[in-house]
Structure 1
Amino acid sequence: MSIYHRINCFFLFSFLGYLLECAVLSYENKRPVFNRGFGHGPFCIIYGFGSVGATMLLSPFIDSPVRLYFASMVMATFMELVTAYMMIKLFGSFWWDYSRKPFNYKGIICLESSIAWGFLGIFYFRFLNGFVNQAAGMIPDNFQRITGMFFLIFYATDFVYTMRMQLRADCEEDESSLVGRLKVY
């Protein structure tokens, strides 16, 4: 399996995660939700990283559905917690809110989502991983590199643009909050 095949799988998982997030939030909010990624493209890369982490860390549990379920639950919940803390550190907030759900911790993680992560881990190993690898394998070898590089460049550009916009908005917010406190003599 080439590095470009893996990159294409990463972005396919990120796209499927984006679709999952949009579907779940559309259902919960009873209205369509389309903007679930960090940037402007249709990717939630935490799902790409989750697929890499699951393959690396959870493969020893694939023969035991119960152990796989709990290991998936713990790994994904931990990833959600770490991601939220990174976002708080970078931006002062995170992009989801579980505060209205029972058994939540600071709105960052909750029991309902942790339970779902366990089932998603089983689904990942029983169906999704093979499906995504097969789909990425349908990209002709001579286009694997082109599509992989396209996804990397697209996401990197989108990420840098979004970071700049977010930092600019934070700076403007900080400046506007200072206006009321300035003393003019």
Structure 2
Amino acid sequence: MSFFISIGFNFIIYSFLGWVIENLYCYHLFKRFQEDGFLYGPYKPMYGFAFSILVLLNDVIHNNIILAMFICLIIPTSIEYLSGYYLKKFFNKTYWDYSNERANYNGLVCVKFSLYWMILSLLGMFFIHPIINKFYLFYKDISFIFIILILLSISMDLLMTIATLSKENKLFKKF
């Protein structure tokens, strides 16, 4: 059970940190915070999924920097592509478009942002995650209920989003 709670904790933390990173990036570029997102709450599941996978692979990549760079490039880029593809296919939503970037694939991923994800992932794996993991280990006995409640909250957010898109007739538009 603690394995799943640990994964849930990582998913929550890195989904929130992804939301923070995106908002800071948008503020830096446009001098305003990002207003549009798939879910209502302050989290970006794409980051949570990608980094949770990286954490699971930590023992494999920790002592091999070349392998770490490769995996920290491939996992986030794959998650970004799949997220963009399925958001467009099932919900008729496009949240980013790299069509104007060099070396892009279907406007969903590009080399420039893949390199950004790799650098952020490496920094996260080698510097941020050890601190966050110590925090988790210190509080894991009392954090169980909070992790469950936050995951339920994210699930409710997803259900509300799907209900809203269904009412707007945007859900599964291509089918």
TM-score interval, smaller chain: 0.7 to 0.9
Cα distance in 1 for residues equivalent to 2:58 and 2:135: 22
Provide runs of 4+ in structure 1 moved above 6 Å: none
Q: Is contact 2:92–2:170 with CA below 8 Å preserved after alignment?
A: no
Q: CA shift at 1:167, angstroms? A: 2.0
Higher alpha-carbon deviation: 89-98 or 13-22: 89-98
Residue by residue, what CA displacement relative to the aligned partner does 1:139-164 show, whole Å, maximum 9, x if unpaired?
3623x122012101111111100111
Distance verdict in 2 for CA 1:64–1:164, change over 3 Å:
same
Q: Is contact 2:87–2:94 with CA below 8 Å preserved after alignment?
A: yes
Distance verdict in 2 for CA 1:162–1:74, change over 3 Å:
same
Q: Percent identity?
A: 23
Q: CA shift at 1:114, angstroms? A: 0.8
Q: Which runs of 5+ in 1 are unaligned?
A: 175-185
Output the TM-score relative to the length of structure 1.
0.81
Q: Which runs of 5+ in 2 are unaligned?
A: none
Residue by residue, what CA displacement relative to the aligned partner does 1:102-125 show, whole Å, maximum 9, x if unpaired?
221221001110111221221122
Q: Is contact 1:18–1:36 with CA below 8 Å preserved after alignment?
A: no
State whether structure 2 residue 17 is matched by structure 1 residue 16.
Answer: yes
SS in 2 for 1:71: helix
- In structure 1, the residue matched to 2:7 is 6
Distance verdict in 2 for CA 1:167–1:81, change over 3 Å:
same
Q: Is contact 1:98–1:104 with CA below 8 Å preserved after alignment?
A: yes
Cα distance in 1 for residues equivalent to 2:79 and 2:128: 19
State whether structure 2 residue 52 is matched by structure 1 residue 31.
Answer: no
Instruction: Tell me the matched-pair count.
Output: 171
Q: Is contact 2:15–2:44 with CA below 8 Å preserved after alignment?
A: yes
State whether structure 2 residue 138 is matched by structure 1 residue 146.
Answer: no
State whether structure 2 residue 82 is matched by structure 1 residue 79.
Answer: no
Q: Is contact 2:73–2:114 with CA below 8 Å preserved after alignment?
A: yes
Distance verdict in 2 for CA 1:116–1:125, change over 3 Å:
same
Distance verdict in 2 for CA 1:7–1:165, change over 3 Å:
same
Larger Rg computed on CA atoms: 1
Q: CA shift at 1:58, angstroms? A: 5.4
State whether structure 2 residue 145 is matched by structure 1 residue 159.
Answer: no
- In structure 2, the residue matched to 1:68 is 68
Distance verdict in 2 for CA 1:125–1:41, change over 3 Å:
same
Distance verdict in 2 for CA 1:125–1:36, change over 3 Å:
farther
Q: Is contact 2:10–2:52 with CA below 8 Å preserved after alignment?
A: no
Cα distance in 1 for residues equivalent to 2:107 and 2:99: 4
Distance verdict in 2 for CA 1:104–1:147, change over 3 Å:
same
